[in-house]
Amino acid sequence: MEMFLEEKIKLDSQVSDQEIRAYYEEHKEDEFTNPISGETVSLSSVRENIRNFLVMEKQRAAFDIYMEQLFNRYVVRFAQESSAEEELTQKKTPEIPSKPQPTE
């Protein structure tokens, strides 16, 4: 199951050079330009950072969509507290067995 989920999310999380370029252009002023000097960082120097960010965003979105589909497809029921959990929360005093009486 875990491998299936990883593969599904990986397939849905591919990032193209076009997407990287578009992100760079859209955020050039606020993220990649020094406000004091006005100098802009080149796309080539931040390409991998942008790719990693976009992949992470797509993975998060793909996982959210997958989980939503599961919740819509299956009935989810939450179990009530089990008796074992109730026993732990009630702090019972342990019973100490009595010593056997010597026989005469």
Q: What is the pLDDT of residues 50-97, one digit of tens each?
A: 999 999 999 999 889 888 988 888 876 777 766 555 555 555 555 556
Q: What pLDDT does residue 67 have?
A: 86
Burial class (CB in 10 A: 0-12, 13-18, 19+), 50: buried
Mean pLDDT of the chain: 82
Is 49 a domain residue?
yes
**Does the predicted TM-score (pTM) go above 0.75?**
no
Q: What pLDDT does residue 3 have?
A: 73
Which residues constitute the domain of residue 19?
Answer: 2-89
Distances (CA, A) of 50 to 42, 56, 70: 12, 10, 30
Is 75 a domain residue?
yes
Is 96 a domain residue?
no
Number of domains in the chain: 1
Is 102 a domain residue?
no
Is 103 a domain residue?
no
Q: What pLDDT does residue 75 have?
A: 77
Is 99 a domain residue?
no
CA neighbor of 54 nearest in space, from 30, 19, 18: 19
Is 83 a domain residue?
yes
